[in-house]
Amino acid sequence: MKKLLIGTALAAITTAGSVMADGHAVSACLITKTDTNPFFVKMREGAEAAAAEAGITLRSYAGQVDGDHETQVAAIETCILDGASGILLTASDTSSIVGAVTQARDAGLLVIALDTPLDPIDAADATFATDNFLAGELIGQWAAAQLGDDAANARIALLDLAVSQPTVGVLRDQGFLQGFGIDLADPNVNGDEDDPRIVGNDVTAGNEEGGRKAMENLLAVDPSTNVVYTINEPAAAGAYEALKSIGRENDVLIVSVDGGCPGVQNIADGVIGATAQQYPLQMAALGIQAIASFAADGTLPENTEGKDFFDTGVALVTDQPADGVESISVAEGMALCWG
């Protein structure tokens, strides 16, 4: 059942429950940035399936738009009051949410960040995510390889997520720049590089309309822009529409991150050159399994060796492979895509 909580705009979905060893029902919360982005839709599907299999009561919440921090805080407070065993969270504001997360942990809940690490990352009990820096690095390496010698004279537009610079956006942006061969300033901040190839940064809210507007803004700064990094595929689709409106859709290289089925199809259609595919269903399912283990005997999740999070994998998808950059084909990407 899905309902809107008055005053907080939270979407709530509940599945069947089970019982802990001490007789209490096991329940979990999934809190995503929105409930419309295909990435979060698939994440919710993965959580629902895993919860049903484990006999866990799942309540899902989402903000009205990406960046709706207040709604996420309200959702955490609701989960604490409801006596949830754990929370799976994709935070819109990765630093401001830490206070609410701390309250949840102090109340005995397991808090796992999905996809988007908190700032600091250890504010959550665990993080299950794509290596977002690597995702950006892969598309940056690919873009530089496609341009060859012309990479030295590239004009690069960076279409980021939000003014608050959540960690997922910073990691992808900075990974892309490093992969392209641009020296980073502070790797924890977007927009402080001094490489003359960078036209500028703008924000998209991770949606198509935001991508279109951001692309228009940066084209106004430099109409000769020929490389576009985008935070995700909806933003990439918007950037493409802006370029198409001035007849430049065929001479600008667009790269992105996500790997949803519409985005992979956009590679086949020539909208996007390459994308880094991530696996939200797996993130959410593993998160539910971790909450079940924690509720049963207090077991805490473990990180991938050598990393400060559990790496759920990433693959570069393109039909134009580049030497030295590992990738999979569009056909392979379509077999693994979501949304």
Average pLDDT, the chain: 92
Domains of the chain are: 27-130+280-301 (3.40.50.2300), 132-277+315-336 (3.40.50.2300)
- The answer to whether 57 touches 16, Cβ cutoff 8 Å, is yes
- The answer to whether 201 touches 222, Cβ cutoff 8 Å, is no
Q: How confident is the model at residue 155 (pLDDT cuts 50, 70, 90)?
A: very high
Query: What tokens were used for 276?
Result: 């880094």
Note the pLDDT tens digit of each residue in 296-314.
999 999 999 999 999 999 9
Instruction: Report which of residues 2 and 225 the model is more confident about.
Output: 225
The reported pTM is: 0.84
> From its phi and psi, is residue 162 left (phi > 0), alpha (psi between -120 and 50) or beta?
beta
pLDDT for 6: 23
Q: How confident is the model at residue 24 (pLDDT cuts 50, 70, 90)?
A: low
Of 68, 8, 77, 7, the residue nearest 36 (C-alpha): 68
Residue 18 pLDDT more than 70? no
Residue ranges in 195-312 assigned as alpha helix (H)? 208-221, 233-244, 261-268, 280-297
> Distance of alpha carbon 250 from its chain centroid, rounded?
27
3-class DSSP assignment, residue 159: strand
Task: Give the residue carrying structure tokens 């700064």.
Answer: 221
Note the pLDDT tens digit of each residue in 129-141.
999 999 999 999 9
Q: Residue 178: enclosing H or E segment and its boundaries? A: helix 167-180
Whole-number Å distance between alpha carbons of 338 and 323:
27
Task: Give the residue carrying structure tokens 């979905």.
Answer: 13
Q: Residue 300: enclosing H or E segment and its boundaries? A: none
Which amino acid would we find at residue 337? C
Note the pLDDT tens digit of each residue in 62-79.
998 888 999 999 999 999
Whole-number Å distance between alpha carbons of 114 and 124:
10
Q: How confident is the model at residue 20 (pLDDT cuts 50, 70, 90)?
A: low
pLDDT for 66: 85
Residue 271 pLDDT more than 80? yes
Of 42, 61, 39, the residue nearest 168 (C-alpha): 39
pLDDT for 25: 83
10 Å CB burial of residue 184 (0-12, 13-18, 19+) is middle
Residue 9 pLDDT more than 90? no
Note the pLDDT tens digit of each residue in 179-236.
999 999 999 999 999 999 999 999 999 999 999 999 999 999 999 999 999 999 999 9
pLDDT for 173: 98
Whole-number Å distance between alpha carbons of 53 and 330:
32
